[in-house]
Structure 1
């Protein structure tokens, strides 16, 4: 009888749909015992020509696995988790990104180029005008606030622009967000921070941003086949100052090439999420193609190997075979479909401090990953109702997560006492 009661509790916790606009429920977490021992990493930078191309990729998995394997061979088990409660705070249409500006202001980007500002205190949502409206614009992909937003009110937008030729370009702009009276909000002083990158035709945009501990802005470039070339922009992480200037310590600043001066690292397949940890280091979550999805820690001039090597690939050598490439700190065998990540720094959940929270388009959960030097492991999975597009931490330490889709619910995850 006890087993039936426990099974019924788990099923109800995982599948119950909240009703109304502000309902709370207890979440379910999946604990993981698997561990990963990363390979020794070496720093020399291999150089390859622009003709290096990726092998054909297998089709994306469309459904979740019943049992997940992470970084090893340990199965996932669902367990009740009373640490979290979840409250719906609003709904958005095709959200792409969000960023907290203050305790009461949450900025949300919707596809294709809508920017909205939510007042947390009363739940009101207001449209922000002045978003760049180039004739061929395709999508507003990411938004972040300046580290000193409270003083300068500056925000950054990463956009994909479709040109007349049908090819896409990626660019970063910054602007000042004016908080007007009576719910009027608008952008002024729009500036290009990273000029539109070379046109590309694939859907692999990148276009995700993060600030490090020194106030430098990192931007993930698009993905094509030239990830190992220092004359092409794809498969790279860009690094600029908050005003768009190229830092003097960028590793390829002396090369006679327009794009290379921006590069911080290369050999990435498709970096779709980035976050700074409590030490200011940048972590990158990226798709693994027909291999494992990866969590990488950025290093200056680091080459992460794609498409020469890839973790657990059936067609490419492993990183261990060519130690000059930097191996991921952690990888997933079950294809999570990277979407978003944060590194938690608040006090509401002490056990999460300094650790990563990761979401993916192929999983209906948020993954808790321990970041402790070289010891990087998945700890648990927080069960959600649908895959999560974006995760952000609020100033009060609560975790906010927004779903994929046309009627995407915005959730606040908090301690049951908050």
Structure 2
């Protein structure tokens, strides 16, 4: 039973400079409130005290944030728990709930990293499968796409496009791809193949670009070199053998929007059935920009396949608005998937300190970042606001959700129409059962094979998953460090 407030928290793929210290300070504040109001009954660890531990993962997973908030606010007099209404503000209760969930996740610990997942058997709730390494030897793999001839394209964040052919990673990267700014989150991002590739041959790339014409100032004593301003760019081109040719720009922001911030570039692709290209641009560390329709950052964009503006985009006739904008109020969306049943577009998004989101993206909607969040961000205390969308589900502690995919094939029949979410911080592949606009059940398929960047379904109906060796935490490496990666395939086991 509860005798005091609880909480949520998170570690994301990358955060703006200074945010981690702010989050730590906030965490300490609510740790002290927990000590003051709760620890005498519930203890400070999994052992609990006179009453059960509030850091018990099973207990927390069985209750929604709203249920926890009600219990803390109203108390449980029959069990000897006082009401905290009037003692703690509404915001303090929400933050305490975040503290509980974050702390519980840390106490639970992580499964030991398995460096070689090849031939590992996973007996999940609805499907037994074996992991098969398709190709290793990659460096921080970020995005992947299949060509009609069976070749697999994989981007590496350090700025390379690689080809895997007949299960073999070709030794040389594709030549002639754009010059990429690499550092922190910056690098080469997603790759997508045009739906009509057999006819037109177009391939799409997103990457971080240093401001064209930028000249670094001369060194000044022992001061570190300044970080060049950069921004997300989207291009398309074609393959001529192993060379990138015919580059065309789909999206490039105005020079004034290039920033030395090294975070929140986006940048995932998807096409709809009409051939429109959707792509995401993160807030680039500028929170307020996500609500500003005059800037492309913090938005999901919809363009024709050549980058031109569809005439039916929602803000085409809004004075001053960026006409490619499809939805706004986004922090850092890194996954798209179309529901095969409803036709709705789902997206994953990194939260600030917990509060990672899975959303349904709809025309012209505002998803709240800059005003509301389910995570913990200094200066943002609201969880809801009229006219702003609520997430379908959210995660605290953070799983740092990246690529997502619905399954509609027949190789894993009991997974049909489920949504699969790759998690970086959680090192996991998560399965979500979806009914219309709701997630009705979830399962973590694995969480020990490294940072899981994205998953796609091949033409034979099998899942291909990008993995990267762990960084951050207890590894001794910075979160953005370059580590080896691989492509694995999930093989059904009867």
| Aligned counterpart, 2:179 | 133
Partner in structure 1 of residue 209 of structure 2: 161
- Report the alpha carbon displacement of residue 152 of structure 1 after superposing the two structures with TM: 2.0
Alpha carbons 2:264, 2:281 under 8 Å: kept: no
Q: Greater strand share, 1 or 2?
A: 1
- Asked if the contact 1:36/1:377 (under 8 Å) is kept, the reply is no
* 1:282 paired to 2:345: yes
1:211-230 deviation per Cα after TM superposition (whole angstroms, max 9, x unaligned):
12222111111312211111
The answer as to 2:365 corresponding to 1:317 is no
Partner SS, residue 150 of structure 1? helix
- Alignment of structure 1 residues 21-36 onto 2, 5 Å: none
Select which of 231, 236, 239 maps to 1:174. Answer: 236
Using a 3 Å threshold, how does the CA distance of structure 1 residues 135 and 360 change in structure 2: closer, same or farther? closer
Which whole-Å CA distance do the structure 2 matches of 1:199 and 1:255 have between them?
A: 24
Relative to structure 2, which stretch is displaced further, 309-318 or 91-100?
Answer: 309-318
From 194, 200, 221, the equivalent of 1:152 is: 200
Question: For residues 127 and 280 of structure 1, do their structure 2 counterparts lie closer, same or farther at Cα, with a shift above 3 Å needed?
Answer: farther
Q: Distance in 1 between matches of 2:356 and 2:155?
A: 25
Of 212, 215, 221 in structure 1, the residue corresponding to residue 281 of structure 2 is 221
In 1, Cα distance between equivalents of 2:404 and 2:309: 26
Taking the TM superposition and a 5 Å limit, the aligned residue runs for 1:1-400 are: 65=106, 67=108, 80-81=123-124, 83-91=128-136, 92-102=138-148, 104-121=150-167, 124=170, 126-133=172-179, 139-163=187-211, 164=214, 166-178=228-240, 180=241, 185-196=242-253, 198-202=257-261, 203-223=263-283, 224-225=286-287, 226-257=289-320, 260-278=322-340, 279-311=342-374, 313=376, 315-319=380-384, 322-383=385-446, 384-400=448-464
* Greater helix proportion: 2
Size of the aligned set, in residue pairs, is 349
> Among residues 388, 391, 404, which one is paired with 2:468 in the alignment?
404
Counterpart Cα distance in 1 of 2:373 and 2:383: 6
Query: CA shift at 1:121, angstroms?
Result: 5.0
Output the CA distance in 2 between the equivalents of 1:328 and 1:36.
14
Structure 1 residues 62-84: Cα deviation after superposition (integer angstroms, max 9, x where no partner): 9964659xxxxxxxxxx943521
Deviations 1:187-240 (A, max 9, x none): 221100112352133211112211122221111113122111111222111110
Q: Quick check: 2:191–2:205 contact (8 Å CA) kept in 1?
A: yes
Alignment check: 8 A CA contact 2:180 2:188 kept: no
Match of 2:199, SS state, is helix
> Is 2:158–2:182's contact at 8 Å kept on the other side of the alignment?
no
Separation in 2, partners of 1:370, 1:340: 17
Deviation at 1:393, TM superposition (A): 1.3
1:30-61 superposed Cα distances (whole Å, 9 cap, x missing partner): 9x9869899xxxxxxxxxxxxxxxxxxx99x8
Task: Give SS of 1:128's match.
Answer: coil
Question: SS of the counterpart of 2:414?
Answer: helix
User: Of the two structures, which has the highest relative contact order with CA contacts closer than 8 Å and spacing of 6 or more?
Assistant: 1
The Cα offsets for residues 275-303 of structure 1, whole Å up to 9 and x where unpaired, read as 22225432110011124110011111100
Larger radius of gyration: 2
Cα pair 1:103 1:396 within 8 Å, conserved: no
Q: Secondary structure at the match of 2:314?
A: coil
Quote how far apart the aligned CAs of 1:387 are: 2.1
Q: Deviations over 1:123-173 (max 9, x none)?
A: 655521220127899521111111112322211001110122621121110
Deviations 1:291-340 (A, max 9, x none): 41100111111001112112255852222xx2311111111122111222
Q: CA deviation at 1:352?
A: 2.1
Equivalent position SS for 1:388: strand
The corresponding residue for 2:4 is none
The Cα of 1:122 is off from its aligned counterpart by: 5.3
Q: Which runs of 5+ in 1 are unaligned?
A: 1-29, 39-57, 69-78
| CA deviation vs aligned residue, 1:80-138 (integer Å, no higher than 9, x gap) | 43521111122111211111113621001112211111113556555212201278995
Residues 456 and 463 in structure 2, CA contact (< 8 A), matched pair in contact too: yes
- The alignment partner of 1:109 has SS state of strand
CA distance in 2, matches of 1:332, 1:143: 27
Cross-structure match for 2:218 = none
Deviation at 1:255, TM superposition (A): 2.9
Cα distance change on mapping 1:101 and 1:266 into 2, 3 Å: same
TM superposition shift of 1:175: 0.8
Normalising by the residue count of structure 2, what TM-score does the alignment of the two structures yield?
0.65
1:4-32 CA distance string (max 9 Å, x none): xxxxxxxxxxxxxxxxxxxxxxxxxx9x9
Contact 2:352 / 2:375 at 8 angstroms: preserved in 1?
no
